[in-house]
Structure formats: C-alpha cells, structure tokens
C-alpha cells in the first residue's frame, strides 16, 4: 500500500481507481525544489510533507439552491483536463473532496454561490492535517454567475491546504470567481487554479489573500475561443512573517482574445511577497490584447516584495503591456494629506486603502447585496495596518 494512502481516501468514491493511481504516483515524487524556476523565491524548502496527515475538509455551500446536481460525466471530463505539474496536484487527485458547480446554459444567478472551507486543526497526537479541496465550476453557454470560495481557520490552527480549482466558461458565459484567504498564520496554502474560456466568454478570477503563513496560488488562465476574455485581480497583504506567492499565466490560444490582470499587494513587518506573471500569445492568437500590472507597497524596512513580469509573444498584430512597481508609500501623497492636518498614521491608512481601492472595486461582489463583503475586506486591511502601527 502506498505510503500516502489513508482513511482520507474515499474508497467508495466512483473515481477510486484514479485516486489510488494518483496516490501511488505521488508517493514516488519528491517535493519540488526551490532550485526549479517554477518554485523560485518560494518557501517550499521549508515544507515537510511527512508532518501532515490527509484529512477530510469541512466545507459548506450556500446560494446553490437553483443549481441542479452536477453531471458526473461532465465533471470527470473537466477533471481529466486538469494539468498535473507536481506532487501537490497528484495528492489533490488522490485525496480531493470535490464541490462541483455546473450552471446550465442560459442561467443567470443574481446571488453568488459561496463555498466555505473551514480549516480545522488536527486532534492531539495525529500531527497536522492536510486538506485537499477541489472546486469544479462549469458555466454553461450564456450563463452568468459568481462563485466565492472562502478559506478560513482559527489563528492557532496548524494545517496544510492544497486547493485545486477548475473553471470552464462555455460560449458567451460570464463567470466570476473570488477566492478569499482568511487563514491563520500557521496554515500553509499551495493553490493551483486553471481556467478555460471558450468563444466570447468572460472569466474573472479574483483573489484576496490576507492570511496564511506561506500562501501560494498559481493561476493558469487560458483563452481558447475567439473573442474570449479573462480578467485577473488580486489584493494581497502580508504582515509579520507571512509570505504571499503568486504565479499567473495569461495564455492566449485563439485570435482576438483579451486578457487583463491587476495584482496589488502590500508587505509589512518582515513579510514577503512574490509576483511572477507571464503573458503568452501563441501563434494563432492574432489581434489579441493583453495587459498585466503588478504594484507593491513595502510598508516597512524589513519587508520584501518581488515582481517578475514576463512576455512571450509568438505572433504579430497584438497589443500587450506590462507594468510593475515595488516601493514604499509615496512621500508626496503622504505630505499632501499631512499638509491638510491629517496625522501620519491616518494619512498612511488613507494612502494604503486608496492604493487597494481599485482592486476592491473590481472584485465580483455586487454593491447591492454584498457591499458588506467589500466593506468587510476593507476593514480587515485597515485592521492589519493598525496592528502594524500600534
């Protein structure tokens, strides 16, 4: 029996054979090395997988009442299309707990579907748990809806979370996803997201990362149908010893496709962040447009942020631009506010909240029903700032 096999493998699951095979492959694989380019700047060398035990994640779903049960064949097909890069992809295939959301063609959902993963600590003596949630989203043709995926834990919980996300937008579908990391500072997260957009579809992949010890999300957004659009937005803010690590791919396969990315982060204390992004325009993607912007605020001397934008363009007749900045709060902005009689700490709060204002406004939460979520995230950012200045 492979070393990774445990009770957490659902032996009654219809994909039992797939799980066992994945567990066997995982057992033969090593944790990636930071020497490899994909894991450059990461803290992967600190991970000791043997100290974690696979466990079943406690997940709740709300807002899915109007969505019929997922078609197992369709889900299996989407899962089969997932790229497998490393041991974490294999472990997720072996131990996954899947939530599948398949919204039929033409269906429009006014309210978001909210998937919440409650990341619990292990029982005494059993070591820390490892959770492998998998979220499969299929947007039928011309459907429109939003899915919010929340990751939450208590402050002192020690755990590993290895989530996988697959999003498929059929022709002319409009699908929005928002991942929210509110994990405690002893939780590791190693995420991998894959999205595919067919003709004339629009996919928004948004991330808010405030929690975690080391939290990494890799996002591959492929536009495979003519006229398809992907948008990626992230707000991340690390303090203490936290590290946020993002790796994004905007992969243009079909012609006249459009992608836009805006990632904004802040680091303080001795926190770190890394953003590595690639725009790839393939041979057949003539007439495509791609933008990539990454901006980082370093709020204290000991904090560190790295930004590595890349372009790989294989055809003519495209419009691409990328921009990246890393730096402290703009002194001129601070002085402008202070010259109005605003104390330095308040001025700093205004500037930092202002810095995040555009990404907050791009998050897929309608102002009407979920203005409270945006206000809540804004308040969490403000709380983090206050803690730093106290």
Partner 1 sequence: MSTLEIKGLVASVAGKQILNGIDLVVRSGEVHAVMGPNGAGKSTLSAVIMGKPGYEVHAGEVLLDGVDLLALPAWQRAQAGLHLVMQYPTEVPGVGLNDMLTEAFKARGRNTDTLAQEVAAEAERINFPVALLDRSLNVDLSGGEKKRNETLQLALLAPKFAILDELDSGLDIDALRDCARRVEDATNENQLGVLAITHYNRLLEELHPDHVHILVKGRIVASGGPELADQLEADGYEAFTGGEPEGAVQAARPSSLDELFAL
Which residues here bind partner 1, judged by CB under 8 A?
330-333, 335-344, 346-347, 350-351, 353-358
Name which of 64 and 351 has its Cβ closer to partner 1. 351
Cβ 353 to partner 1, closest distance in Å? Answer: 7
Identify whether the C-beta of residue 22 lies closer than 8 Å to the C-beta of residue 93.
Answer: yes
What's the CA gap between 53 and 128, in Å, rounded?
A: 6
What's the CA gap between 131 and 144, in Å, rounded?
A: 30
Cβ 321 to partner 1, closest distance in Å? Answer: 19
- Count of Cβ atoms closer than 10 Å to residue 99 Cβ: 21
The secondary element (H helix, E strand) that includes residue 362 is helix 344-362
Which residues are registered as beta bridge partners of 24? none
Query: How do strand 258-267 and strand 289-298 relate by DSSP bridges?
Result: parallel
Cβ 378 to partner 1, closest distance in Å? Answer: 11
What's the CA gap between 140 and 174, in Å, rounded?
A: 9
The two three-digit tokens of residue 336, written as one number: 């402008």
Name which of 14 and 344 has its Cβ closer to partner 1. 344
Name which of 37 and 331 has its Cβ closer to partner 1. 331
What's the CA gap between 175 and 138, in Å, rounded?
A: 9
Cβ 339 to partner 1, closest distance in Å? Answer: 5
Cβ 371 to partner 1, closest distance in Å? Answer: 16
What's the CA gap between 360 and 354, in Å, rounded?
A: 10
Cβ 235 to partner 1, closest distance in Å? Answer: 12
Helix axes 331-338, 344-362, angle to 10 degrees: 120
Name which of 87 and 360 has its Cβ closer to partner 1. 360
Name which of 215 and 359 has its Cβ closer to partner 1. 359
What sign does the dihedral 15-17-18-24 (CA atoms) show?
A: positive
Cβ 373 to partner 1, closest distance in Å? Answer: 18
Name which of 152 and 358 has its Cβ closer to partner 1. 358
The residue with tokens 């990494």 is: 216
- Count of Cβ atoms closer than 10 Å to residue 53 Cβ: 16
What's the CA gap between 334 and 123, in Å, rounded?
A: 48
Name which of 252 and 295 has its Cβ closer to partner 1. 295
Cβ 333 to partner 1, closest distance in Å? Answer: 5
Identify whether the C-beta of residue 152 lies closer than 8 Å to the C-beta of residue 117.
Answer: yes
Query: How do strand 174-182 and strand 113-119 relate by DSSP bridges?
Result: unpaired
Name which of 152 and 338 has its Cβ closer to partner 1. 338
């Amino acid at each position: 029996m492979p070393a990774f096999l445990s009770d957490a493998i659902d032996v009654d699951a219809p994909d039992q054979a797939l799980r066992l095979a994945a567990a066997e492959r995982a057992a033969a694989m090593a944790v990636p090395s930071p020497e490899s380019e994909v894991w450059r700047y990461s803290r992967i060398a600190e991970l000791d997988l043997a100290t974690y035990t696979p466990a079943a994640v406690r997940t709740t779903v709300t807002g899915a009442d109007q969505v019929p049960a997922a078609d197992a064949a369709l889900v299996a097909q989407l899962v089969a299309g997932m790229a497998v890069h490393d041991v974490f992809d294999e472990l997720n295939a072996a131990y996954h707990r899947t939530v599948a959301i398949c919204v039929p063609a033409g269906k429009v959902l006014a309210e978001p579907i909210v998937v919440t993963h409650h990341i619990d600590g292990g029982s005494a003596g059993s070591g820390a748990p490892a959770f492998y949630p998998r979220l499969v989203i299929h947007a039928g043709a011309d459907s429109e809806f939003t899915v919010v995926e929340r990751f939450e834990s208590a402050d002192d919980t020690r755990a590993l979370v290895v989530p996988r996300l697959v999003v498929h937008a059929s022709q002319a579908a409009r699908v929005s996803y928002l991942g929210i990391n509110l994990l405690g500072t002893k939780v590791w997260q190693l995420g991998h997201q894959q999205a595919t957009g067919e003709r004339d579809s629009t996919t928004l992949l948004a991330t808010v990362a405030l929690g975690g010890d080391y939290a990494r999300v890799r996002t591959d957004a492929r536009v495979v149908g003519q006229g398809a659009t992907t948008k990626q937005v992230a707000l991340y803010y690390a303090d203490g010893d936290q590290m946020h690590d993002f790796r994004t791919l905007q992969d243009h396969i079909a012609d006249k496709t459009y992608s836009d990315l805006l990632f904004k982060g802040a680091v303080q204390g001795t926190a770190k962040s890394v953003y590595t992004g690639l725009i790839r325009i393939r041979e057949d993607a003539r007439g495509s447009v791609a933008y990539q912007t990454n901006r980082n605020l370093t709020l204290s001397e000991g904090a560190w942020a790295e930004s590595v934008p890349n372009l790989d363009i294989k055809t003519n007749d495209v419009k691409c631009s990328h921009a990246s900045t890393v730096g402290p709060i703009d002194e001129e902005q601070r002085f402008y506010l202070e010259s109005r009689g605003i104390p330095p700490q308040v001025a700093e709060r205004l500037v930092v909240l202002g810095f995040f204002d555009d990404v907050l406004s791009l998050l897929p939460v309608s102002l009407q029903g979920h203005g409270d979520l945006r206000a809540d995230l804004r308040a969490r950012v403000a709380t983090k700032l206050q803690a730093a200045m106290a």
